Structure 1
Amino acid sequence: FMQIAGIRELPGYWTPFTSPLVTILAILVVPALVAFVLGLGVFKRRVKGAYFAILSQALAAAFAILLVGQQTIGGSNGLNRFRTFFGFNLNDPANKRMLFFIAAGVLLLVVALTRQLMYSRYGELLVAVRDQEERVRFLGYDPANIKVVAYVVAAFFAGIAGALFVPIVGIISPADVGIVPSIAFLIGVAIGGRATLLGPVLGAIGVAWAQSTLSENFPSGWIYAQGLLFIVVVGFFPAGVAGLIALIRRRKPREDAPRDETPDALPELEVAR
């Protein structure tokens, strides 16, 4: 991917974006193309459920091992010392601040696009495949094609996120594409609520904040806390925080609802006794 992205080594640091147009195309096209090929091979064979989860984690582990063996891109150390972003110096605090604003703006744009996708015809088909896949097949649709499109869109957005993540952090290594980050993403989705739009976003932000905060104070205990949090959420709050908030709102009585006068009569009954 280095030749496709135009990455080359200069004295003292790595600098991408020697060809901005090629780099942008690589960021957008390469992940989507890989996801399209993998999606066709997986979903056309009707791999789903636990088997799909195991296969996803196995692919992540295999890709991380493959990157470790590539010494031309740093091996286990990965790529580091990113100093520029499209010609802008990343050591400048103003440029760093602007990069955070760009990442936040891209996040809002992705959420808006995902919302439009959810309320489109394809979004309805995606929900139908999630709930009743066989019925969708009986109606004449191929669930595999619907899943492949979702897989490609997710990879497209993930490529953009990775391209913004690297300049902000300043390093990318095989450990960032292994099993542990995948589990962290799943925990964020489970905590936020997988059936909502903003739930996974808030869950991912919360998990990232907790990881950066607790791992500094409790380096050896964060992994156990992460696993315990995942078990508690999946076992007791399967809808996540968003589902819990919706449940509280449904149970909360409305202010304009008629009040029941029966409890007010109880003290009079006690006095009569």
Structure 2
Amino acid sequence: MALLVLAVAPAALDPFRLGLLTKYLCFAIAALGIGLAWGQGGMLTLGQGVFFGLGGYSMAMYLKLHDAGPGNLPDFMVWSGVEELPLLWKPFASPVFAIAAAVLVPAATAALLGYLIFRQRVRGAYFAILSQALAAAFVIWLVGRQGLTGGTNGLTHFYDVFGRDPEDDGTKRGFYFVVALVLGTLYLLARQLVKSRFGRLLVAVRDGEDRVRFLGYNAAAVKTIAFAVSAAIAGIAGALYVPVVGIISPSLLGVVPSIELVVAVAIGGRYSLGGAVLGGVLLNWAHTAFSEQYPSGWVYLQGLLFILVIVLVPGGIAGAVRQAGDAIARRRPGVRPEPPPAADAAERKEAATA
């Protein structure tokens, strides 16, 4: 069904709405990373915007240098009085370096943080608070570096994206297919990872970290790897977001956007990778739809949705669909459905503590 919708969308939507859907798919990629870290690994990361931003700024730096031309400074540096291209910017003149940095820098940053945090057995609310503080500190740093990062305005006005005009309808359609393909590929890879031996170990760490450690496994290493993979996925989402929307700024990367991604995953179903992707699309679509009609009421509606899901359906939309399917199957003679034990146990535990 999802594949059919994605295939029909370019023909059914006008260029503007198709561009919005492409943006939603970028957020769905970031939500997929959260689904892996939080849903499968139990790491409530409230700072995923940091990794989204690292990927986005990596791509934006290349695009600004490409627009400026060899030997010239990006426009915002000229306005800020910068006379020489900063050393940090010089490698990003290469598109290969920029794309690699969009994936590797977030992954390396998360791996370093994970090594420092998880080896101290920091988890739960303490990890969530640390990740949230990281997002706040990252935004403060970006805002305070006007000549390096564009400050509050960020990086915008990209006139050439790999030889194509980003405002052209054909280019927007091409962006859609690229983002949809990347999302599908990452989803299949993440699903394969979850079904692997590592994925089962990750779920075991989520449900009983101390038991896993007593059995001789390095729980900190398992969580660090999963955290790094989720950060790399967020970096890819950020790198795709920049040419699609045409901007990357601190306002997209702070605490509030990071929490909104977590809310989207919770609504879609954090124990299901498909649910996380669905939540990333649906919540952002709802944000656009309701903001157009009720600009001041969307925040309250978003909070209400989150509360209702946590209280009534801890497993999100994906969990509710699975429960409904099980209920229908029970009515059939001779059929005894067996839901995934890890997700089912986690949902029951969360419902009991809600």
> Larger radius of gyration, structure 1 or 2?
1
In structure 2, C-alpha distance between the alignment counterparts of 1:115 and 1:30, rounded to whole Å: 23
Note the 1:1-273 alignment, pairs <5 A.
6=62, 7-8=64-65, 10=68, 18-72=93-147, 73-252=149-328, 257=333
Task: Report the 3-state secondary structure (helix = DSSP H, G, I; strand = E; otherwise coil) of the residue aligned with 1:84.
Answer: coil
Asked if structure 2 preserves the Cα contact closer than 8 Å seen for 1:117 and 1:123, the reply is: yes
The aligned amino acid for 1:60 is: A
The aligned amino acid for 1:40 is: Y
In structure 1, C-alpha distance between the alignment counterparts of 2:288 and 2:128, rounded to whole Å: 26
The aligned amino acid for 2:308 is: V
Which of 1 and 2 has higher RCO (CA within 8 Å, sep 6+)?
2
In structure 1, C-alpha distance between the alignment counterparts of 2:191 and 2:161, rounded to whole Å: 30
**Identity rate, percent:** 50
Task: Report the 3-state secondary structure (helix = DSSP H, G, I; strand = E; otherwise coil) of the residue aligned with 2:158.
Answer: coil
- Using the TM superposition, give the Cα deviation of residue 30 of structure 1 relative to its aligned residue in structure 2, in angstroms: 0.9
Equivalent residue pairs, number: 257
Gap change, CA 1:142 and 1:255, over 3 Å in 2: closer
The aligned amino acid for 1:65 is: I
- Using the TM superposition, give the Cα deviation of residue 12 of structure 1 relative to its aligned residue in structure 2, in angstroms: 8.3
- Using the TM superposition, give the Cα deviation of residue 22 of structure 1 relative to its aligned residue in structure 2, in angstroms: 1.2
**Normalized against structure 1, the TM-score is what?**
0.88
The aligned amino acid for 1:47 is: V
Asked if structure 2 preserves the Cα contact closer than 8 Å seen for 1:13 and 1:82, the reply is: no
The aligned amino acid for 1:168 is: V
The aligned amino acid for 1:162 is: G
In structure 1, C-alpha distance between the alignment counterparts of 2:275 and 2:320, rounded to whole Å: 11
Asked if structure 2 preserves the Cα contact closer than 8 Å seen for 1:13 and 1:80, the reply is: no
- Using the TM superposition, give the Cα deviation of residue 253 of structure 1 relative to its aligned residue in structure 2, in angstroms: 5.0
In structure 2, C-alpha distance between the alignment counterparts of 1:174 and 1:13, rounded to whole Å: 18
In structure 2, C-alpha distance between the alignment counterparts of 1:46 and 1:221, rounded to whole Å: 40
Asked if structure 2 preserves the Cα contact closer than 8 Å seen for 1:237 and 1:244, the reply is: yes
In structure 1, C-alpha distance between the alignment counterparts of 2:331 and 2:223, rounded to whole Å: 44
**Normalized against structure 2, the TM-score is what?**
0.69
Gap change, CA 1:183 and 1:27, over 3 Å in 2: same
- Using the TM superposition, give the Cα deviation of residue 256 of structure 1 relative to its aligned residue in structure 2, in angstroms: 5.2
Asked if structure 1 preserves the Cα contact closer than 8 Å seen for 2:58 and 2:99, the reply is: no
Asked if structure 1 preserves the Cα contact closer than 8 Å seen for 2:145 and 2:151, the reply is: yes
Asked if structure 1 preserves the Cα contact closer than 8 Å seen for 2:267 and 2:317, the reply is: yes
Asked if structure 2 preserves the Cα contact closer than 8 Å seen for 1:191 and 1:241, the reply is: yes
In structure 2, C-alpha distance between the alignment counterparts of 1:141 and 1:232, rounded to whole Å: 37
Asked if structure 1 preserves the Cα contact closer than 8 Å seen for 2:106 and 2:232, the reply is: yes
In structure 2, C-alpha distance between the alignment counterparts of 1:214 and 1:194, rounded to whole Å: 24
In structure 2, C-alpha distance between the alignment counterparts of 1:171 and 1:3, rounded to whole Å: 12
Stretch of structure 1 that moved more, 65-74 or 112-121 = 65-74
Stretch of structure 1 that moved more, 199-208 or 77-86 = 77-86
1:152-197 CA distances to partner (integer Å, 9 max, x unpaired)?
1011111111000111111111011101111111111111111112
CA RMSD of aligned residues (A): 2.2
In structure 2, C-alpha distance between the alignment counterparts of 1:48 and 1:125, rounded to whole Å: 17
1:28-50 CA distances to partner (integer Å, 9 max, x unpaired)?
21111111111111111111111
Q: Unmatched 5+ residue regions in structure 2?
A: 1-53, 77-88, 335-354
1:201-221 CA distances to partner (integer Å, 9 max, x unpaired)?
001100010111111221111
In structure 1, C-alpha distance between the alignment counterparts of 2:241 and 2:141, rounded to whole Å: 21
Stretch of structure 1 that moved more, 28-37 or 110-119 = 28-37
In structure 2, C-alpha distance between the alignment counterparts of 1:232 and 1:126, rounded to whole Å: 28
1:246-269 CA distances to partner (integer Å, 9 max, x unpaired)?
1111112567528xxxxxxxxxxx
Q: Unmatched 5+ residue regions in structure 1?
A: 259-273
